[in-house]
């Protein structure tokens, strides 16, 4: 008896139905397992933006070094290029980027400086020259030429560094550390061991 003849009998038909039922149950179970596994996998977005040289990644709680550096340059230019007409826009753009612990301190400092900028008609210009990254602390250092000028005084030029940390929460960048100072970047290697003691 051939397989075709067997399947055309009642016994063959019932056996075939059982095989198909088991197959369907196995497929349903494997689909449910697959849905559960796919739901637990963290999505990673891979971008090749025109500004950056190569491929970068952004995950829910993490971004590649190039992304953190580009956000560091963006924030440094935002803070370093301010005038009487642009200072209000700075607050609006910077506000959602600041993490909770840093928000109040930075906004208070900007509010103090805003009044002086408007009152004395001061303009500040920052041109980034170098970007450094400390992998141990995930800190970005943007250093460049800073110029302050106003109608009542000669322009003041100095070297300035913007030190910041960018973290990602739900794919959203947040500045968790921000420090601005004159001169070159201060890293842990540059500090005096006596100064580092509590």
- Domain coordinates of the chain in residue numbers? 3-40, 45-196
85 three-state secondary structure: coil
Please tell me the predicted confidence (pLDDT) of residue 7.
62
Question: In whole angstroms, what is the distance from residue 122 CA to residue 125 CA?
Answer: 10
Q: What is the DSSP letter of 152?
A: T
Give pLDDT tens digits along the chain (198 positions).
Answer: 676 666 678 777 788 888 889 999 999 999 999 988 887 776 665 555 445 666 778 888 888 898 899 899 999 998 999 888 888 888 888 888 898 888 888 888 888 888 888 888 889 999 999 999 999 999 999 999 999 998 877 889 999 999 999 998 888 889 999 999 999 998 754 444 443 333
Q: Does domain 45-196 have CATH number 3.40.50.980?
A: no
Q: Are strands 123-134 and 139-150 parallel, antiparallel or unpaired?
A: antiparallel
């Amino acid at each position: 008896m051939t397989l075709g003849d067997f399947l055309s009998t009642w016994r063959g038909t019932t056996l075939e139905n059982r095989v198909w039922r088991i197959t369907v149950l196995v497929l349903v179970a494997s689909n449910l397992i697959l849905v559960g596994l796919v739901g637990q996998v963290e999505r990673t977005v891979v971008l090749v933006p025109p500004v950056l040289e190569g491929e970068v990644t952004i995950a829910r709680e993490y971004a590649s070094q190039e992304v953190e550096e580009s956000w560091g340059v963006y924030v440094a230019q935002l803070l370093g290029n301010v005038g009487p007409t642009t200072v209000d826009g700075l607050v609006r753009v910077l506000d959602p980027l600041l993490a909770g612990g840093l928000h109040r301190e930075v906004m208070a400092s900007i509010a103090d400086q805003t009044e002086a900028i408007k009152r004395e008609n001061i303009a500040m210009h920052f041109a980034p020259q170098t970007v450094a990254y400390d992998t141990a602390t995930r800190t970005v250092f943007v250093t460049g030429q800073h110029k302050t000028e106003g109608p009542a005084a000669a322009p003041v030029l100095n070297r300035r560094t913007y030190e910041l940390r960018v973290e990602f929460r739900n794919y959203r960048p947040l500045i968790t550390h921000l420090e601005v100072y004159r001169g070159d970047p201060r890293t842990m290697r540059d500090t005096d061991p006596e100064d580092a003691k509590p």
